[in-house]
């Protein structure tokens, strides 16, 4: 099973975590969707974003069996030396390969692989743990959808932001 997750922080407090599942890495067909509201999240602390993001991710992934790959919005590692980002903590937490897909460039992450999809001119930035980075970039490049952001990632973002 392949999963993509995203977390949206509600203006009123708390967060909504969203999940889409597919049985193929291209996410050609979404097998299931899930959202979970988390009433309290830790305040943002520079350098410790994972402390805020992991509890909602944990909540939305609860009960998901047979997970073989997790795709997150963000970076797995923050620099070529392997400074851990959200994805590294997710890899340790969930014990599965993690691919990070970031929409914006993070200057120290010069190791991130730029992936241009569709007719986009701006790349996505791909990092990974538990899977070779080039293979991770290839998976993101091959995901279903004609736009810069693969359909599954657009859908999980939309679910997380629903009823803002």
Convert the pLDDT of each residue in 6-44 to its tens digit: 999 999 899 999 999 999 999 999 999 999 999 999 888
pLDDT, residue 53, reads 95
pTM confidence score: 0.95
Alpha carbon distance 19, 4 (integer Å): 6
Low-confidence ranges of the chain (pLDDT < 50): none
Name the nearest CA neighbour of 69 among 110, 34, 17, 25: 25
Q: What is the CATH number of domain 2-161?
A: 3.30.2170.10
- Where do the domains of the chain lie? 2-161
State residue 163's pLDDT score.
65
Other beta carbons within 10 Å of 81: 8
Provide the token pair at 84.
């851990």
Distance CA 55, CA 128 (A): 21
């Amino acid at each position: 099973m392949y999963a993509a997750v995203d977390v949206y922080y509600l203006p009123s407090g708390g967060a909504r975590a969203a999940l889409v599942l597919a049985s193929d890495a291209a996410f050609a067909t979404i097998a299931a969707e899930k959202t979970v509201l988390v009433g309290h999240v830790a305040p943002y602390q520079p350098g410790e974003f994972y402390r805020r993001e992991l509890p909602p991710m944990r909540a939305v992934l609860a009960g998901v069996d047979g997970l073989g790959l997790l795709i997150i919005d963000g970076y797995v590692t923050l620099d070529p030396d392997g400074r851990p980002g959200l994805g590294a903590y997710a890899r340790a937490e969930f014990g599965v390969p993690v691919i990070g897909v970031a929409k914006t460039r993070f200057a120290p992450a010069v190791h991130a692989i730029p992936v241009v999809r569709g007719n986009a001119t701006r790349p996505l930035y791909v990092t990974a743990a538990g899977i070779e980075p080039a293979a991770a970039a290839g998976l993101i490049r091959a995901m279903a959808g004609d736009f810069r952001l693969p359909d599954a990632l657009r859908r999980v973002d939309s679910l997380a932001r629903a009823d803002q």
